[in-house]
Structure 1
C-alpha cells in the first residue's frame, strides 16, 4: 500500500521541492563540453535493423523538427544535467507535440491523448514538460513563426499543464482517473484559430479518422493473389515476412509466430482474449514506422474473423530499453514490452483493447520484446504544418492539459500543484528553456547534417 500523507504534508513536499530546484532554475541548460549527440544517435544503430538505419537518418534530415523527433536520447542525456524537483511521475519519455493524437476509445468515441510510450519510465515530471515545450519552439521555427509567437505557444502549453494540475489537485482521485478529452468537442475551438482553407483540410482529415480501421488497412495494404489475401510487398517500407527471412521455411516461421501470439494473448484481459481467439492469422509483414523508431523491428499481422471480410490488423513493435533508463533508473519490468504497456495504461485515460506484450526469438536466436496493439483504430494526428500561431497555441494548451492529466494519475498531484504555484513563473521559465534548447537542437541538427556529408553517418533520403 502507498503511504497516505495528509494534504498539508503533500503541499509541503511540493513547496520544499522549490528549495531543491527553484522555479527559476527550470530555465537552465548549459551544454556539457563532452556531449556528443551524433555519437549517441549512431550508437543506437547497433541494436537496429542495419538496412533500415539509413532510412531513419534520412527522415531525421528532413528538418530540424524531424531531427528533434529522432533525438530523444541526446535530449535525455541533456535533461539529466538540469535541475530536478524530485517530484516523479510516470513519464511518456518522448512527449513532443507529434506524439499526441486522437484514437478510438473502447466505447467508439474519438479521444485525444498521449499516444507514444516507447520510452516510458518513472522520472522527473519536468522532463516531459520540457520535451513538449522545446518541441513547440522547434516546430514553430519550422513553420516560420517569429519569436514572440513561439513564446506565446510555449506559454500556452506550460500554463495548460500548470492550471490543469492545480485543478486536478482539487479533485477526487477517481475524477482525475476518469478525466479525458473529447477531441470532437475540442476541434470546434480550432475553427476561429485557423485559416478557413486550412481548417477545412484539417476537419476533413479528422473525419477520415473514423474510417481509419482494419478494413481500410486491408484495402490499402493487401491484394488477392492465387485466391488468397496477401500483403503487398513495398520494400523496404513493407516486406512480407517470407521475403525478410527468405532462407527460413515459411511453415517454421508461422509456427513460431503462432506460439508468440499465444503468449501475447495471455497478457490480455479475459474478454479481449476471447475476442482475439475468434481471429486466425493470415500473414505477417515488416513495416517501417515513425522517425525515431525506424530500424526497430515492427511487424504488422493480418488476421481474419473467418470469411475474408472481417480483417484485424495488429502491429507488433519492438520495445528496447527506454532512452531515459540510464539517467533516471531502469524499469521494474524485465520485459520491455510490458514496460511500455504498463506505462501506457497508467498514463492514458483509455487504451486500445488489444494492447499487450510478448517476447519472440528470431532466426538469429536473439530474444526480443514487443508490445502489440491495433495498427489502425481511428488514429489521427493533427497536421502541424497546417497550424498558424494561434492554432498551435490552442493545440499546445490541449497538449499541456493532457500531459498534466497523465502525470496526475501516477504522481502526487497535490505536491506538483504546490510546486508549480498559481503565478505564471513556471510558464515563463519553461518558455525560456524551450528557446534555449531549440537553439541547441539547431546546432545538433547541423552537426548531424555534417556527419552525413562527411560519410560518418549513412542516410537514405529518397524514402
Structure 2
C-alpha cells in the first residue's frame, strides 16, 4: 500500500494482464468438489449439539437462507476461482443481509457491514463475488426475472468499481474518514425519485433508533423475586439458571465475569473506565443468526448507576474463519486468538465500531479453551428485509452495499492497484453477472442436497425457530 502511485498503478495493470477481467465469470466445474452437506457437518463438532438442528432448520427455510448459512461451502468454491493477486481485509461473508444500520459513538445512524465472524486478509474478489451471488439468490427468491437480477448485480458491482476508482484518487485520511451516514442514503433515494422508498427508509430509521439497550432490556428481562432477570424464551434464549444446576451455574458465571474482566483490557482506557462502572446481574444463552447457530453465545446483563441504567452485552464465540483453509499462500494474518481476529477485522473495515467491542480467551467452558468477542447486544441496529425487495429496491440496496464494501476494502488494500486493475469499463461488472447466476444455480443444487439429507434422516433438523 506504499510506494509511488505510478508503481501501484503498474501493479494493477500487470495483474489485469495476468488475470483478465472477463475471467471472473468463471465458476469451475464441481468435479471433485466436497459434498456440501459434509462441509457443513464438519462445523458441527465444535458447536452446542442440541442447537445444531436449529441451524439446519433455519437454512432449509429457503435457498437464500441456505446461502446465508453456507459461507464455508462457498469458501471452497471461491478458492478455485481466478485471483488477481491483490488482497485486502475481507468481511469473509459479505452477503446483502450482512449490511445494515447501527449507531456510531456520536449517536448518528451509519450504514456499514455488520458481520465479521469470518474476517481475514485475502483476495478482494471473494467478498465481491459473495455479494454478487447473494443478490442473484435473493432476486430469485423475490420472484425477479433474470434481467432484473442481472441489473441488480451489475449495478452493485459497478458501484463497487466506480467507488474504488474514486477512492484511489483520494488521500489516505479522506478514505479513512469516509462513511455512509443516513444523509447519503437519503440522497441516493432522492436521486432516483422514489418517494415511497424514502418514506420506508424514514420508518426504518425510526425503528432502528428505537432498538436500543433500554428497549432490549425491557423486552428481554423481567422482575423475579424482586430482582431483574433475563426472561426465558427457550430454546432461543435460556437463562443460565435454567441450563445448569446451581453449582455449575455459579462456576460458569464466574468464568464469564473473569472473561469480562479480561476483555476490558482490550478496550481503550476511556471505554475501560466506562465498562468498570457496570456490575454483573445475570446471563443467558442466546441462539443467533443462521450460520452461527450452535456457536456459544451469551447475553450478559449489567447495571450501572441502578437498574434503570442497563447494559446488555453479547459474548459470542469466535471460531476459525471458514476462509482460513482456502487462502492463497501469504494472504492470511496471524492473531493470537480468533476473538482478536474478529475485532481487528471489524475495526479495520467499519467506519465506526461499537464502543464496547473487544475480545477475550477463556479456559474451562465445556472443558476447552475458547475465544470470544464482545459487543453491545443492540444499539440502534436495523437491517433491510432483502427477501421482500422489488427490483428497484434490490438494485438500490445492492448499489449501497457495493459502495460500502469498496470503502472497507479501500481502507485495507492497495486501492490504487485495485482501481487500475478494475478499469473504468464494464467488463468486470458483466463477468460477475454471469458468475452470480452460475453460483445461484449451484446454491439451489446444494440446498436440495441438504433437503434430501434432512428427509433421509442423515441430517437432524428442527424447523420453525
Indicate if the aligned counterparts of 2:58 and 2:464 stay in contact, CA closer than 8 A: no
* Corresponding residue to 1:340 among 339, 342, 351: 342
Give, in whole Å, the separation in 1 of the partners of 2:102 and 2:71: 24
Residue 186 of structure 1 deviates from its aligned partner by: 1.0
RMSD of equivalent CA atoms: 1.5
Q: How does 1:1-400 map to 2 (within 5 A)?
A: 4-35=2-33, 36-187=35-186, 189-190=188-189, 196=196, 200=199, 203-246=202-245, 248-328=247-327, 330-400=332-402
* Corresponding residue to 1:403 among 392, 402, 405: 405
Which residue matches 2:438? 436
* Corresponding residue to 1:459 among 448, 458, 461: 461
Which residue matches 1:422? 424
Equivalent position SS for 2:266: coil
Q: After superposition, give the CA deviation of every residue in 1:254-297 in whole Å (9 maximum; x if it has no partner).
A: 22222111100000000000001111111011100000010001
Q: After superposition, give the CA deviation of every residue in 1:170-212 in whole Å (9 maximum; x if it has no partner).
A: 000100000001124414644767684x765554232111111
> Structure 1's 149 and 195: CA in aligned 2 closer, same or farther, altered over 3 A?
farther
Residue 384 of structure 1 deviates from its aligned partner by: 1.1
Equivalent position SS for 1:302: strand
Q: After superposition, give the CA deviation of every residue in 1:38-78 in whole Å (9 maximum; x if it has no partner).
A: 11011111111100000000000000000000000010000
Give, in whole Å, the separation in 2 of the partners of 1:408 and 1:59: 34
TM norm structure 1:
0.96
Indicate if the aligned counterparts of 2:122 and 2:332 stay in contact, CA closer than 8 A: no
TM norm structure 2:
0.96
Structure 1: 5+ residue stretches without partners: none
Give, in whole Å, the separation in 2 of the partners of 1:58 and 1:13: 46
Indicate if the aligned counterparts of 1:102 and 1:111 stay in contact, CA closer than 8 A: yes
Q: After superposition, give the CA deviation of every residue in 1:398-457 in whole Å (9 maximum; x if it has no partner).
A: 100000000000100000000000111111101111111111101111111111111111
Q: After superposition, give the CA deviation of every residue in 1:290-309 in whole Å (9 maximum; x if it has no partner).
A: 00010001111111113210
Indicate if the aligned counterparts of 2:186 and 2:198 stay in contact, CA closer than 8 A: no
Give, in whole Å, the separation in 2 of the partners of 1:195 and 1:144: 23
Give, in whole Å, the separation in 2 of the partners of 1:416 and 1:258: 45
Indicate if the aligned counterparts of 1:193 and 1:390 stay in contact, CA closer than 8 A: no
Q: Which deviates more, 341-350 or 187-196? A: 187-196
Q: After superposition, give the CA deviation of every residue in 1:225-272 in whole Å (9 maximum; x if it has no partner).
A: 111000011111001122223263433332222211110000000000
Indicate if the aligned counterparts of 1:202 and 1:383 stay in contact, CA closer than 8 A: no
Residue 124 of structure 1 deviates from its aligned partner by: 0.3
Indicate if the aligned counterparts of 1:194 and 1:387 stay in contact, CA closer than 8 A: no
Residue 107 of structure 1 deviates from its aligned partner by: 0.6
Indicate if the aligned counterparts of 1:156 and 1:393 stay in contact, CA closer than 8 A: yes
> Structure 1's 396 and 239: CA in aligned 2 closer, same or farther, altered over 3 A?
same
Q: How many residues align?
A: 460
> Structure 1's 193 and 380: CA in aligned 2 closer, same or farther, altered over 3 A?
farther
> Structure 1's 133 and 94: CA in aligned 2 closer, same or farther, altered over 3 A?
same
Give, in whole Å, the separation in 2 of the partners of 1:84 and 1:301: 42
Equivalent position SS for 1:362: strand
Give, in whole Å, the separation in 2 of the partners of 1:384 and 1:399: 12
Give, in whole Å, the separation in 1 of the partners of 2:368 and 2:146: 49
Q: Which deviates more, 272-281 or 12-21? A: 12-21
